[in-house]
A and B are shown apart, each in its own frame.
Chain A
Amino acid sequence: MTDQQQLDLRKDEVEAGTTTGLASPSVDVTSARQNSLWSDAWGSLKRNPLFWLGSLLFVFFALMAVVPQLFARGVDPRACDLAFAKDTPSSGHWFGYDPQGCDYLSNVVYGARSSLIIGIFAVVVILVLGVLVGAIAGFYGGVVDGVLSRLADIFYALPLILGALVLLRVGPSTDIPILNTRGPGAVALALALFGWMTAMRLVRSQVIAVKSSDYVAAARAMGASNRRILLRHILPNAVAPVLVYTTITIGVLIAAEATLTYLGVGLQRPAISWGLQIEAGQDSIRSAPHLVLFPSIILTLTVMAFVMLGDALRDALDPRQRA
């Protein structure tokens, strides 16, 4: 907006009676500064090495999930020769061989896809459940809030791994769709079912905090419906904390998937998964430690990518922590 335009606008506003022109703002509020939270956040992210390291790792593993052939040096993970079983790493085969004599590098690389798919699918279900239940509980309050909050407390009292463990053990014998498949969908669903409570509490408290603000009262006074207030005014304010939570949670869920698979209730052979690789390698931890080590390192780096990104986002989005 040029100076001339701004003068014209002020004249128009004075004539229309929306302002007296006496105490007009000294800064041009119509410029890009309006989105100050997000532009400030980007400014802070740019200077955070944690953000760049996390992004780099994330892009690396996302690529690995999409085009594993590139990272496997062209070796088929299922082309095996028992003669090489458990051979240690060499210049031709960087990660050595697994107990079936398959190239370990390509097996570990191909494991990225199922981990990322499960992590992201589970977090999407968690977000849908958490935002829906949290928004309803926070907005309507009273009995509705009481019941939904107690429900969250009940699920919260059960440890994530334990709940998912029992559900996945039972799943195949039930006739609940997805859950009886023993596939990635079942694992993601079980994780989401025992992991939605924190998202719900986050959204609920944000909604309660925003509900009593002046601009919501103004919107209501102008006749906005409950639905409109919820969707246009309240939920956008909950985006920042939910975004931070989501990022870190993907990492937590990927670790939980590997754990459940290691315990024998997650993905099943012949699926290629880090949990299965760690499980198969643990018996030869003395003679061939590389079997446990390599999938562990790659799993940790993947989780780390999301934890770092989440930490960086929190530092950027929470103005109270900004120095």
Chain B
Amino acid sequence: MGRYIARRLLLTIPVLLGASFLIFAMVYALPGDPIRALGGDRPISPAVAAVLTERFHLNDPLYLQYWEYLKSLLHGDLGTDFRGRPVLDTIERTLPITVKLTIAAVLFETVIGIAAGVLAGIRRNSFFDNLVLISTTLIVSIPILVLAFLAQLTFGLKLGWFPIAGTRDGIYSYLLPGLVLASGSLAYVARLTRTSVAENMSADYVRTARAKGLPRRDVIVRHTLRNSLIPVVTFIGADIGGLLGGAIITETVFNLPGIGREVFDSVRSQEGAVVVGIVTLMVFFFIFFNLVVDVLYAVLDPRIRYD
């Protein structure tokens, strides 16, 4: 087990480096002259421009710039934006909002997704089963952009149940965007649970449990669910990393100042250091949660052995 984790950890290093270099290389080619943009209407003197060019290594070749970036990254320094604010401060300011949004989304997808999937799976081809199948097809087809506006229109403006923008209402402000962010995964969790439960319902050990006279409730909760939920738990785990990086649209439409909207704003205003910093963080989360899931899988399912 320890060797397996070590090997997986080693394998993630090239992926993390590669992904951050990929984004670094693209950002390096961002259009425009950032130093002139910083000055706005007032021209910046050649001396100041030279100092700034030197400080941000703007004249070095790409791989040298990346090397400089990596060196300072290892010292916990993500660099500064062109106004001199440390990127780390920007992340500290925006990350908590995205984390809250992600927690809301994960709660929705776990509670609603699993409940719908279990109810559909234990009674296959029932009315509720078909309802789940049809509604998940529908939800998967609605682009998250459209869903965000539909949710704003109906639950926000027409019914007035939820605030539709900003973070002024505390936890309450995260409910609607959380549901929108969760929608796709929620549908997938419901389908995965349904298939998995339906498969296990006809397994031999479930028949045995039923034959020895256990109440239906115990058969489902203690025997079927425990085995059926393994793939679901691992999917949700891996999904957390995706949700943390997938909140660009939700945060933009609902006007939540998290890392998703920050990275979008930074791409538009050519703040290269912020883009690279945040995207590297997103990639790190993605890889980290996938690793956790792989290890978790071995813990949850003793039939799986990594050697």
Q: Which residues of A contact B (CB under 8 A)?
A: 50, 150-151, 153-155, 157-159, 161-163, 165-167, 169-170, 172-174, 251, 255, 258-259, 262-264, 278, 282, 285-286, 289, 292-293, 296, 299-300, 303-304, 307-308, 311
CB distance from B31 to the nearest CB of A (A): 3
- Tell me which residues across on chain B come within 8 A of A166, comparing CB atoms: 23, 26-27, 267, 275, 279
Query: In the bound complex, how far is the Cα of B138 from the Cα of A311, in angstroms?
Result: 12
CB pair A259–B22 under 8 Å, yes or no, is no
CB pair B23–A292 under 8 Å, yes or no, is no
Closest-by-CB residue of B relative to A275 is B145
CB pair A159–B282 under 8 Å, yes or no, is yes
Query: In the bound complex, how far is the Cα of B276 from the Cα of A170, in angstroms?
Result: 14
CB pair B29–A174 under 8 Å, yes or no, is yes
CB distance from B274 to the nearest CB of A (A): 12
- Tell me which residues across on chain A come within 8 A of B140, comparing CB atoms: 307
Main SS of the interface on chain A?
Answer: helix
Q: Which residues of B contact A (CB under 8 A)?
A: 11, 14-16, 18-19, 22-23, 26-27, 29-32, 137-138, 140-146, 149-150, 152-153, 157, 242, 245-246, 248-249, 252-253, 263-264, 267-268, 275, 279, 282-283, 286-287
Query: In the bound complex, how far is the Cα of B17 from the Cα of A151, in angstroms?
Result: 11
Closest-by-CB residue of A relative to B270 is A169
CB distance from A290 to the nearest CB of B (A): 10
CB pair A300–B143 under 8 Å, yes or no, is yes
CB pair B19–A162 under 8 Å, yes or no, is no
- Which among A157, A251, A263 is the interface contact of B286 at CB below 8 angstroms? A157
- Which among A153, A282, A292, A303 is the interface contact of B142 at CB below 8 angstroms? A303
Closest-by-CB residue of B relative to A265 is B267
Query: In the bound complex, how far is the Cα of B149 from the Cα of A293, in angstroms?
Result: 8
Query: In the bound complex, how far is the Cα of B268 from the Cα of A170, in angstroms?
Result: 10
Q: Which of A151, A166, A264, A296 has the most CB of B within 10 A?
A: A166
CB pair A150–B143 under 8 Å, yes or no, is no
Query: In the bound complex, how far is the Cα of B143 from the Cα of A255, in angstroms?
Result: 6
CB pair A157–B283 under 8 Å, yes or no, is yes
Closest-by-CB residue of A relative to B244 is A159
- Which among A50, A163, A170, A286 is the interface contact of B157 at CB below 8 angstroms? A286
CB distance from B130 to the nearest CB of A (A): 11
Query: In the bound complex, how far is the Cα of B142 from the Cα of A308, in angstroms?
Result: 12
Query: In the bound complex, how far is the Cα of B139 from the Cα of A308, in angstroms?
Result: 12
Query: In the bound complex, how far is the Cα of B133 from the Cα of A50, in angstroms?
Result: 11
List 10 A–B pairs whose Cβ atoms lie within 8 Å, in order of A's numbering: A154-B22, A155-B19, A157-B16, A158-B283, A159-B248, A161-B246, A162-B245, A278-B149, A285-B152, A308-B141
